[in-house]
Each structure stands twice: as C-alpha cells, then as structure tokens.
Amino acid sequence: MQQITIEPVSRIEGHASIRLFLDEDGRVQDARFQVNQFRGFEQFMVGRPFFEMPALTARTCGICPVSHELASAKACDQLLAVTIPAVAAKLRRLLNLAQLIQSHALSFFYLTAPDLLLGMDHPPETRNFFGLAAIDPQFARDGIRLRQFGQQVIERLAGRRVHPSWVAPGGVNSPLSAPAREAMLAELPEIISLIQAHLNRFKQTLDRHQEHIRVFAHFPSLFLGLTNEAGTLEHYDGRLRFINADGAPVADDLDPGAYQQAIGEAVEPWTYLKSTYYLPHGYPQGMYRVGPLARLNLADRCGTELADQHLALFRALASGPALSTFHAHYARLIETLYAAEQIERLLAEPDILDQRVRAVAGVNNLEGVGIAEAPRGTLIHHYKVNEDGLIEWVNLIIATGHNNLAMQRGILQAAQHFLDNATLHEGLLNRIEAVIRTFDPCLACSTHAVGAMPLTIELIGPDGSLIDRIRR
C-alpha cells in the first residue's frame, strides 16, 4: 500500500535534533545536526510577479527580513538592468547596517550572554535573558537599548520595524526625511559608547572561556564573504572572496552573478537544511564558514576608526585568521560598533536627503542574482523570470546553509570533548547548543510561530540501539 508521509509539518516553529553515534568503546564517532522543517519559499514564489519579491521574501525571516529584502531587490535590479540612484544605494546600506545592529544585539545579549555571564552549568530555569536581567539589570537594559536603536532606524527609514516594504526593484520607495536623520544622529553618541563598553567588558571574560574557545568549532576551514576594492568590511555590495585557514585567497574577485561556479549545494536524507561547499574542493571537503567571523578574517580593515582599533586587538588572538567560531561573539560586537560608526558617516553625506530614490524600468533581463551580507553571513537570491516578469525559478542560499557543514563538525568536536562515558547531562546539552549559537543560525528561516524550538540529543550505540536521550 502506497503511503504519503509529511514529517514534520511545514510552516511551524523550527525543529532541530542532534544525534550522536558511538563506537563499541563508547566514543563519539559521528554527529548530525538535523533541521526537521521543510522550507517551501523557493517553490511557492514561482508564478509571482518579480516586483513582489522584496516584500514577499522579507517574510522568509522575522529576525532579518531586511537582509532578504535587499538581496531580493538587488536580484530584481538586474532583471530591470538599471543602476539605482546613488542615494538609494546609501539608504539601502543604512537599512542593512541597522539590521546588523538589532540582530547582533539579539544574538549576543539575549541568546549568548546567559551562557557567558551565568555559566554553561547554570540552572536552565534561569539561564536565560530574564535570569540575566535579574542579576545584572543594566546589562539587560543595554541590550534592549541597542536592539531598539537598530529597529528604530529601520522604522525611520522604512516605516515599520519588521517586514518593511520600502526596498523596491530599482531603489527604495521614499527618501529619508530631515527630522528622521537628525533623530538618528542625536542618538548615535550614546549607542557608540554603549557598544564600546560591552566590547571592553567581553574582552575581559575571554580568559574564562579558553576551553570553549578550543573546542567550539575550532578547526581550519575556508571562509567566504563579500569584499570591496578598499579592503574594508562590506555588507551590501562587492565581489566574493574565499580564503583558506592561513588567510591566503583561494578564489578572489568572484562575480556574485557567477556564484554557481564556486558554490555547490548538497542535500542529505536526514535533514531539510542544504549544505553548501566550495565546488572545486568537492563535498564535504569544501566546507567553509560565513558570517561576522568570516567577514573580519576576510577584510584588511573595518574602515571606521573605533572598530579598527578593536579589530587590531581581535587579531592579536591568533597569528592568522581566527579559527574558533566562539570568537564570532567578539566579531559581532566589533561589527556592531562598525555599523554604528558607518551609519553616522552615511547620515553625514551631503546627498543623503536627495529625493530621487528609484529607477523605473520593465523587464530587460530574464535572470538576476542578488547577494548581500546578512547578520549571519552571505545571503544569495537567484531568480529567473519569463517575458512577462513572472517568476519561473528561485534559488535561495541562506547563511545557515553555508555554515551547515561547519556546524556539523563543530558539534562533533564539542561532543567528543565533553561527553564522558556515554552519560548525558544538562550541561553537555547546553554546551552543544552553545556551539550552534556561535553560528547564530536561523534554523527555520521561513517560519513564524510562538513557542520554543525543541532540541533533542540522542546517543546511538554501534548496533543502532538508542542508549540515552535528553530533550528540552
């Protein structure tokens, strides 16, 4: 009898599990990070008019909708075959930088800080943002303030904080107003001071986390990100670059539109999350990482005064690229400072209030690729349309997919280090979760639901039997 199974149910909060495989001596031999949610965006966008794509794909994620809007709009710009007005590009950059601040603040203050400040073995009932706020209210207020600032900049530019529909093919829908510009400039000194204070505080905690630094996805790999001619941090435009673990370019000055010549996509039967890899090295040897750590490893400098000062201290941690993904937390804070400085710089541009913010045209190309740096890493939108401008094919590569192979290896490394005699304990679960959090993944980037993501760790014996299971 034929059966059709839908498992798991689509369009709910993301689900993940971790499976650890043991040999006959009880040693961890393999690990799988399984994302059990089907993502349907690439299919249900087929048939839609291309000009809907920025607003529609913004719904891919409730945390970083701006990133999807920008990558989508850049792909649509190519379909139009237009050069958008210079001020529109600056306004898009402002929006992206504000997204970076609010998302990095969420990751560091809300999701990571409870582990770092309360401890990995702190009781899980209070090992969260509320427990942290009870112990250190000012720390919590600072995190809320930084995220609020990023969201308010998005709102002042785009009219709403979540899922704005302001970015459009050919530019943006409306110019920046003078009162909004002045309001943002007035708040930036406070924001920059806050970020610097927490950067300095975080650096003082690094000695307490040396064990985690050694085993939280600490290994050689390639790194991928956008670069520009100035060699500074780049989040909106530029060319693609791969470097190796020594910092040497493996592939440089790659046309983003030709990403398929360098990036392959693999699927496994046990997860709905695609794994991308550097095509010339093959799968899975072509593992690479994206995100704030990769971007700092790729750039010659940040390009703003204060962030460059902190980058010099960051680079003193290693003789070459930083290889421990634990240091992504540090990199996020440096990027947050850079974003605030860069927002201040862009707001001071003499043409930032110009009124011409959009180029108008019809379909002139049948294919477009848009790439931007989301907070979590390189984001790719690739569209093909027909002569009427209706979407015929979509490919989305999200940062978590780029990082998937590295996350798999990272949890294996941590499990092999922390697992003792096949005995599970809550602290082990939290440490493996913490490895995943260093990547700041979006496990189900197309879902919105209230509730918690269940995480399960299973120990599987050499004969395939279930030895132990722990679930939260």
Residue 208 falls within a domain, yes or no? yes
The listed range with the strongest mean pLDDT (20-34, 369-383, 423-437) is 369-383
CA distance 15 to 442: 11
Regarding whether 214 and 93 lie in a shared domain, the answer is yes
* Cβ 372 vs Cβ 379: under 8 Å: yes
Band of pLDDT at residue 421, cut at 50, 70 and 90? low
Which amino acid makes up residue 133?
A
CATH number at residue 151: 1.10.645.10
Residue 73 falls within a domain, yes or no? no
> What value does the mean pLDDT of the chain take?
88
> Which of 260, 295, 323 marks a domain boundary?
323
Regarding whether 195 and 90 lie in a shared domain, the answer is yes
The count of residues in the chain is: 472
Regarding whether 204 and 304 lie in a shared domain, the answer is no
> Which of 323, 346, 377 marks a domain boundary?
323
Band of pLDDT at residue 9, cut at 50, 70 and 90? very low
Regarding whether 264 and 117 lie in a shared domain, the answer is no
- DSSP state letter for 469: E
Regarding whether 186 and 106 lie in a shared domain, the answer is yes
Regarding whether 193 and 88 lie in a shared domain, the answer is yes
- DSSP state letter for 282: -
Say whether pLDDT at 411 is over 80.
yes
- DSSP state letter for 391: E
pLDDT at position 38 is 66
Regarding whether 346 and 257 lie in a shared domain, the answer is no
Residue 262 falls within a domain, yes or no? yes
Regarding whether 154 and 257 lie in a shared domain, the answer is no
Regarding whether 271 and 299 lie in a shared domain, the answer is yes
- The model carries a pTM of 0.91
Element containing residue 56 per DSSP (H, E): helix 53-57
Spatial CA neighbour of 363 closest among 123, 146, 116, 81: 81
Spatial CA neighbour of 115 closest among 380, 440, 427, 334: 427
* Cβ 150 vs Cβ 343: under 8 Å: no
Residue 236 falls within a domain, yes or no? yes
The whole domain housing 204 covers: 83-218+324-360
CA distance 68 to 309: 31
DSSP, residue by residue, 330-369: HHHHHHHHHHHHHHHHHHT-TTTT-S--B-------SEEE
Regarding whether 411 and 356 lie in a shared domain, the answer is no
Residue 395 falls within a domain, yes or no? no
Domain count of the chain?
A: 3
Regarding whether 421 and 472 lie in a shared domain, the answer is yes
Regarding whether 419 and 312 lie in a shared domain, the answer is no
CA distance 22 to 42: 37
